[in-house]
Amino acid sequence: MKIESFRRVPGQEYADWWHQRYGTPPDLFAALAFFQRGRATVWVAAASVQLQGLPVVDGVGIPFARIGGRVWKPTSSAAIQFGAAATRNLVEVTLHEAELLVGRSPVLLDRHDPRRQLPICGYVLARLHGVPIGCVLWRGTHIESCVPKARAVAELDRAPSLDRSRR
């Protein structure tokens, strides 16, 4: 089986999608380059990355988006890396909700929760106190975790002072 190597691809389409969908500054990806191997995943790395002369590598920078399906999906890595610059299509979660999402459990929202007024359904960015924690699937009444199985944790390891429920 031949392993396909990465190729540099024009990234303006992906940068524009991120800017339009998440309200990030238009120049957020100006110093970055986009790469692709196969047709399903786009990666982003420093513009200075050169692949010529290198052996076949498993990854270049960080995975940026899954584009192989009907709808493009930002990766959790990209959501964490670039989500702080987002101004729309994001949801602030509580510490308990963040624990559920990181554990790959859904978060059901009460019918009076103002976050149910998010204007779109689909992939949105989740943040805890303004810090991005990943990409989630917003369904209108609940949030589904999109945390990769390999990253999911059963329980967050945090300082006891951050656990407000035990005070």
The 10s digit of each residue's pLDDT in 44-69 is: 999 988 877 666 777 789 999 999 88
pLDDT computed for residue 166 by the predictor: 42
Residue 14: closest CA among 41, 54, 50: 41
The mean of the pLDDT values for the chain is 85
Structure confidence at residue 144 (pLDDT): 92
Query: Does the pTM exceed 0.85?
Result: no
How are beta strands 131-138 and 122-128 bridged, if at all? antiparallel
SS3 state of residue 163 = coil
DSSP letters, 48-108, are T---TTPPP-S-SSEEEEE-SSSS-EE-HHHHHHHGGG--SSEEE--HHHHHHHHTT--EE
pLDDT at 27: 93
How big, in percent rounded to 5, are the helix, strand and coil portions of the chain?
25, 30, 50
Rounded to an integer, the average pLDDT of 1-28 is 88
The rounded distance, in Å, linking the Cα atoms of 56 and 7 is: 11
The residue that leads in pLDDT, 150 or 142, is: 142
